[in-house]
């Protein structure tokens, strides 16, 4: 990565793509609380300007521009979330790329500046990292999470159960939230093995004082099976699909 990519980036610059040779925007998908029928958080998901998928956008990301892309994602998410008034009712969840963060105390500056400029309370921001990105330096990731928590952000482990070193990372990292991946959720109402695994994970996360989210919920039967296990935060197509630059209407059935 070039040294010039490490310089301080301004909110205006990042909101228009941080001088990347491609541009993108965000869709939002709710995480719902089934206990009180409220939206706990809105997750910002990368989309192309013409609603291209995240996969298509990520085809443009490489080792040279990863840092600038990560910074731009944060600013775009905060700016659009502020315009939609997300902070008035729920958290904003932003995915970050651990391999793009070289020094957490420096890389977080643009986020803090964006939160101040767009008047979005930093305590209403969750940073998610995915287990699908292989981390070569777990101590570095641990330092990122600790620094973000010290700054007042919540942190989350995304896609738990589908990526690299799930239980090993769980022992090392102390995120506030863990999101159980669709790989363990799909057809759980019909699958005894998945029921046993998730039920024990719920007990484990409760003992670790972690907030639990079941993601990838697609059917009413899955939803009810997970509710019976004591989960009350959910995300998935059953409730709402990602909504392009807007907030989706939630199915509360």
Note the pLDDT tens digit of each residue in 44-80.
Answer: 999 999 999 999 999 999 988 988 999 999 999 999 9
Class of domain 3-244: alpha beta
Cβ atoms 81, 90 nearer than 8 A: no
Length of the chain, please?
A: 253
- Kindly state the percentage of the chain with pLDDT values over 70: 87
- Alpha carbons within 13 angstroms on the beta-carbon side of residue 115 total 18
pLDDT for the residue 17: 52
In three-state secondary structure terms, 135 is coil
Query: Domain limits of the chain?
Result: 3-244
pLDDT for 182 beyond 50: yes
Averaged pLDDT for residues 114-129: 95
pTM of the model: 0.89
- Taking the C-alpha atoms of residue 16 and residue 221, their distance in angstroms, rounded to an integer, is 42
- Indicate if the alpha-carbon torsion angle 225, 228, 231, 237 is positive or negative: positive
Please determine, for residue 88, whether its predicted confidence score (pLDDT) is greater than 50.
yes
Torsion sign across C-alpha atoms 88, 57, 140, 181: positive
């Amino acid at each position: 990565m070039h040294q010039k990519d490490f310089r301080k980036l301004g909110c205006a610059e990042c909101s228009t793509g941080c001088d990347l040779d491609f541009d993108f925007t965000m869709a939002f998908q709710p995480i719902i609380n089934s206990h009180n029928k409220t939206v706990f958080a809105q997750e910002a998901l990368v989309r192309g300007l013409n609603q291209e998928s995240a996969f298509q956008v990520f085809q443009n990301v490489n080792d040279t521009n990863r840092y600038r892309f990560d910074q731009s994602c944060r600013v775009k998410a905060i700016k659009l979330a502020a315009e939609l008034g997300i902070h008035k009712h729920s958290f904003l969840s932003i995915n970050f790329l651990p391999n793009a963060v070289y020094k957490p105390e420096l890389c977080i500056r643009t986020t803090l500046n964006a939160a101040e400029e767009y008047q979005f309370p930093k305590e209403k921001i969750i940073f998610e990292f995915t287990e699908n990105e292989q981390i070569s330096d777990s101590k570095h990731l641990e330092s990122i999470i600790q620094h973000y928590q010290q700054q007042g952000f919540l942190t989350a482990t995304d896609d738990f159960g589908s990526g690299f070193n799930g239980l090993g990372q769980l022992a090392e990292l102390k995120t506030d939230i863990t999101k159980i991946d669709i790989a363990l959720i799909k057809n759980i109402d019909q699958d005894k093995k998945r029921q046993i695994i998730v039920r024990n994970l719920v007990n484990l996360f409760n003992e670790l004082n972690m907030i639990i989210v079941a993601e990838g919920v697609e059917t009413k039967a899955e939803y009810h099976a997970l509710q019976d296990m004591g989960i009350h935060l959910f995300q998935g197509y059953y409730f709402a699909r990602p909504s392009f630059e807007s907030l989706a209407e939630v199915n509360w059935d």
